[in-house]
Structure 1
Amino acid sequence: MKEQCEYLTSLGFKATFIGRDPNEESDILSGMHDFIYSSPESLLGVQKWRDMMANSTSIKLIVVDEAHTIIQW
């Protein structure tokens, strides 16, 4: 995730990943990034990230790269 965020940032996008910097969480929750990377465990296992996905009007796409790790939704 780190390398992917660095590459996207070098192209001018605002990219981060959940867990990178706790000080960044408010920016993530307020939709300040073009790309947000995360593990399925973080997105589903932490209430604030589940709430973000359920209540956001700015999320256009969610891609789960490690879908084999999701047992139930």
Structure 2
Amino acid sequence: MSTNKLEEQQSDLPKLSNPAKRALSGAGIACLHDLTKITEPELKKLHGMGPKAIEMIRHELEAKGLSFATNS
């Protein structure tokens, strides 16, 4: 099995476009739990993250009882 296939199986991120995947990877985000450490506005600033990808991520976080970090 190739490394990419193994990484995809271990990640709990939703199926995203390649630009969105690259944006997350470049920011060091590999799983949903990593997204709980950043705010949604921070995620929106990543090049390659569009509204559809943000919505998919938000939905997946909510389904697992998680959320983005909040501005404190």
TM-score when normalising by structure 2 = 0.31
Which structure has more RCO (C-alpha within 8 Å, separation ≥ 6)? 2
Q: Which has the higher strand share?
A: 1
TM-score when normalising by structure 1 = 0.30
Q: Which has the higher helix share?
A: 2
